Structure 1
Amino acid sequence: MAIEFFAEDIDFPNYKEDYLNKFIESLIASKKRQVGEISYIFCSDDYLLKINIDYLQHDYYTDIITFDYVEGDVISGDVFMSIDRVVDNADILKVDFESEFARVLSHGILHLLGFKDKTDEEAAIMRSEEEKAISLFEKVKGEYNASLN
């Protein structure tokens, strides 16, 4: 099984793929699930807007769109993530880029894990899960950086 990263219409974010893999694998394992085939496509606002219009008939910008191919406990899917939105969201929310990147990165996996965010109650649960995921991101980052020394 594999997690792959691609960039469309942007430069690839400045993260090591093995570090991102470890984070995503850890997040999925924390929910007692298995990694399947996951593709992250980092892209621009315009690229993601076209997908939003073409596939979901939504004519607005978004930070992430997740296509779910989950089968049982095996987590698979395509996750399109607008780096432009991440930058803008970080500015609006007054958080650093890395925290917002971790939140949106985990948001896609959380959708694949079955978490929703359409109702207020679902959104509150999603936010709580995102906060846990950001903490995990920081933990994995610390372990990764320590392994380099």
Structure 2
Amino acid sequence: MEQWVLSLLAMYGLFELLLTLSRLCWFQVEQPEADHLVLITENSQHSVEWMIRSFYTMNRLQGRSCGVTCVHYPSTDDTLDIIRRLDLKHSSLTYKLVEKSLIKEIEEECQRVWKEEKRTLVLDLRISNEGKDPPRLFAQ
């Protein structure tokens, strides 16, 4: 019986040590100090959920409140359904449906937001070139 208790305590201690080391290593990588994420989506079902969940998780681990805005162009996949499902879970998630004719205006607005609001991160997740392009970060 004593061996089981000692084994469990040793396993717990080892787990805590590994968890602490992984956090130290993770936070040594420079993390963006953004508290708001703007995602531009269109046929982005393969990446939108991961982006939203990881952004919320990272901010939660750092003890910060955050928000996400999805600018969604009409698409043929399940991107909008994923965003609506996540909207039920996260109260600070908002989404806007936009027509394709407004692409230029939205991109200009995203550039303006990135330059003026330093704590906002803008990512373009639209798939082009048969999915070969990575997400585009609006940067200065």
Same topology, TM > 0.5 = no
Larger radius of gyration: 2
Structure with the bigger RCO (C-alpha within 8 Å, sep 6+) is: 2
TM-score by length of 1: 0.30
